[in-house]
Amino acid sequence: MNTALRTTVLRVHRWTGLTLGLLFAYVALTGLGMVFQRQLQPLLEHDLREVSSCAARLPLDTLVDGARAFHPGSRVSQIEVLGGGSGTTIVRFADKEGVYMHPCSGTVLGQQHRWGGLFGTLEQLHRLKFIDNSDVTELITGTTSIVLALVMIGGGLLVWWPPGLKALRSAATLRPHLKGRAFLLNLHRTTGLYVALVLLMSALTSMTFTFPWARQAVFSLAGSPMPPPKPALESKPAAAPMAMETLLKRALASVPDADQVMIQLPRKPLDAVEIYAVERDAPHPNARTTIYMDPYTGDVMRFEPYATSSAGNKAYRWLASLHMGQIGGVPGQLLLFAGVLGLPVLGYTGIASYLRRRFPARAEASGLKARVNRISSETPGIKVFELVSATSTPLPAVSPGAHIDVRIDEDLVRQYSLCNGPEDRDKYLIAVKREPDSRGGSRALHERVSEGDILSIGAPRNHFALAPDAPHHLLLAGGIGITPILAMARHLQADGTSFALQYFTRSVGETAFHGFLSRPELRGKVVFHYALDPHGLRLYLQRLLQERPPGAHLYVCGPRPFMDLVEETAAASWPAEAVHAEYFSADPMAFAGPRAPFEVMLALTGGTYPVPGDKTIVEALAAHGVEIQTACEQGVCGTCITGLLDGVPDHRDAYLSEAERRACDKILPCVSRARGKLLVLDL
């Protein structure tokens, strides 16, 4: 399917979902009550349906007379004999009232309208029987079935049907670790795939008893002729109709093992009596044997046993039972139940995902406004900005190692680690080094931001947290990498947890927080290193990291080469899970290395777009009007993280952990690329 058509189908699916979704939920929820009617009705309508032992049944005519006396003034239209005669006998009248009779004592157990009680009400609602025009009702229920089945479910399946087998497995897998809209879409699609089959079945099976043409289609597909019209009497005899007990006995003689018998009394003088019987061991509750009887002679005019009826009739009846959840026993009922439960999930995820796409700023932004309260200089090139809430809303709490996004300009968002100690509850402290090759962030903060200015910031995020149970922490900072390390040291010092801080800078004059870290209480815990050459640094790190103190964790932040060297050196004796790194600059390979062109497909629309060698995925998609929210555009902040459904990624970011990279189910499209020809993104 081409992109334009897919987009149109998606739009129609979305709007029918938003408008008809409620109707769909209404039909499904009311139908759900009926699915469990078999188990619940004996419990909830115990007084009407439970009959204490009944050995000798009264004649049916006596029971009908008793019911008539209880509810005079209306014609008896139908009699239901339950439990093969030993259960309640329900006498229904033309005004839809039903009188429940004890079959042995003839006492009235109660009276209930056809659409009364819990199940009668649910059925009335489900079948829109409160609309007093059967043509309108059938039109609405039938049209609804078709619209819902073809437009909503069919459209959804069409739009999201994965492009390949591997992608199908991936698309049908729930991945709770995804975040934001990617998670909503994943949940919507996986729930939709599982639920659509159930609901599609319900909608399609409802059509067979709503539309005569659908019933005819079932018979035609089964290769069976349509049943002949009901037989009718040639003339009305002078004799009175036979006793109903006689008719019942003749029916029971034809179907000796009948569990339920329903006798429809003639409406017109020449109509036959129509009797339905369902045997105890019937394959399903709609496996009806039909008997047409002459009401005046009791002669059987036509006998249609279910077992020998046509394939078309069996299919039609089976589909009716399937629709009512009466096939497959309790597992079949639970399948329908799960299908209905999925509806609110589909509704929520569909609407939430739409709103997030439509109003990304409102949904994603933390909306924090901070006032620059104080700016101080730590070194000639490093300024510390103290930010306080610019509104009455207090700033969210901070954990050591956290960073925040700072929106400097409309298109300029940068991440800065917080230096906060445990006592800094009402402010955020960030230290910013003016980088000579700044891409705009540090220069703008140094040159354009003054005390009193209001900045938009994000809520703190932390993927550089302290290991909570480690008995010792080794903190390594290079240059401005001291910022999250300082926060860690301050918290560990306050907690009394064992730690050591090794701080590498070019000179004392360029060492931020030198005064603070030289305090007497930190003596013996902080070691400063100035102007170590690469060889000296390597030798020192080899000595420092050659043995890991039992249970210790290592944390490193600083310039990229420094961090790479620490990680490389630690790899010999520190397990990967005990080494934590906070990157604030891109992997040098992020924009280098082979940059072969490839294609990305958007799972949502099926649109496929080329990504040339000189463009990132974000840039290539933006050229086609597909926006992905970004901040650093260097693969370090995680803002652009996107679900990956298929294809092999070439991860070039500094954000994902090794385990996340191996899972191959998300990608940072601001830098990462593909190892093959195609990536399918969860967008």
Residues that bind ligand FES (CB under 6 A): 630-633, 635-640, 653, 655, 668, 670
Residue nearer to ligand FES on the CB measure, 621 or 637:
637
Q: Of 467, 397, 468, 441, which is closest to residue 636 (Cα–Cα)?
A: 441
Q: How far is the CB of 162 from ligand FES (least distance, A)?
A: 25
Smallest gap from Cβ 669 to ligand FES, in A, equals 7
Q: Which is nearer to ligand FES, 211 or 655 (CB)?
A: 655
**In the complex with ligand FES, which residue's Cβ is closer, 419 or 632?**
632
Classify burial at 244, counting beta carbons within 10 Å of its beta carbon; exposed 0-12, middle 13-18, buried 19 or more. buried
Provide the minimum distance between the beta carbon of 189 and ligand FES in the complex, in angstroms, as a whole number: 24
* Shortest distance, position 7 Cβ to ligand FES, whole Å: 26
Nearer Cβ to ligand FES (345/365): 365
Beta carbon nearer to ligand FES, 286 or 630: 630
From the CB of 590, what's the least distance to ligand FES, in Å?
10
CB contact at 8 A, 385 and 429: yes
**Choice between 635 and 649, CB closer to ligand FES:** 635
- Least Å from the CB of residue 672 to ligand FES: 9
- Tokens linked to 303: 């006998």
| Rounded distance between C-alpha atoms, residue 161 and residue 171, angstroms | 8
CA dist 637 and 655 (Å) reads 7
Please state the closest distance from residue 640 (CB atom) to ligand FES, in A.
3
Longest pairwise C-alpha distance within the chain? 123
Work out how close the CB of 644 gets to ligand FES at its nearest, in angstroms, rounded to a whole number: 14
254-261's contacts with Cβ under 8 Å and 24+ in sequence apart are 254/289, 254/291, 254/300, 254/303, 255/279, 255/289, 255/291, 255/305, 257/84, 257/281, 258/84, 258/289, 259/82, 259/83, 259/84, 260/80, 260/81, 260/82, 260/83, 261/80, 261/81, 261/85
Nearest distance, CB of residue 430 and ligand FES, angstroms: 17
Distance (Å, rounded) from C-alpha 497 to C-alpha 24? 58
Q: Which amino acid is at 108?
A: V
Closest CA to 60 of 291, 250, 303, 226: 250
> Which of residues 248 and 668 has its CB atom nearest to ligand FES in the complex?
668
Distance (Å, rounded) from C-alpha 348 to C-alpha 337? 18
- For the chain, the first-to-last Cα distance in angstroms comes to 17
User: Cβ 632 to ligand FES, closest distance in Å?
Assistant: 4
Pick 243 or 363: Cβ nearer ligand FES: 363
Which residue carries 């044997």 as its tokens? 289
Closest contact distance (angstroms) between CB of 403 and ligand FES is 12
- Helix (H) or strand (E) segment spanning residue 557: strand 553-557
Q: Which residue is nearest to ligand FES (CB)?
A: 670
In the bound state with ligand FES, the residue whose beta carbon lies nearer, of 670 and 680, is: 670
Nearer to ligand FES, 638 or 649 (CB): 638
E strand or H helix at 408, and its extent?
strand 403-409
- Rg, C-alpha atoms of the chain: 38
CB of 586 to ligand FES, least distance (A): 9
CA distance 193 to 171: 9
Nearer residue to ligand FES within complex by CB, 455 or 670: 670
When the beta carbons of 195 and 667 are compared against ligand FES, the nearer one is 667
Strands (E), 191-313: 258-264, 273-279, 288-293, 300-304
Q: Which is nearer to ligand FES, 118 or 623 (CB)?
A: 623
* List of E strands, 137-265: 258-264
- One-character DSSP codes across 346-397: HHHHHHHHHHHHHSHHHHH---EEEEEEEEEEEETTEEEEEEEESSSSPPPP
Q: Are strands 673-674 and 382-389 parallel, antiparallel or unpaired?
A: unpaired
Nearer to ligand FES, 442 or 630 (CB): 630
The strands making up 273-279's β-sheet, listed across from edge to edge, are 108-113, 97-101, 89-93, 76-81, 258-264, 273-279, 288-293, 300-304
Any idea what DSSP says for residue 549? P
**How far is it, in rounded angstroms, from Cα 306 to Cα 287?**
6
- Alpha helices, DSSP H only, in 474-593? 482-495, 514-517, 534-545, 560-570
Minimum distance of ligand FES from residue 655's CB (angstroms)? 6
CB 447 within 8 A of CB 435: no
DSSP class of residue 129? T
Nearest approach, Cβ of 591 to ligand FES (angstroms)? 12
Instruction: Say if CB 131 and CB 140 are below 8 A apart.
Output: yes
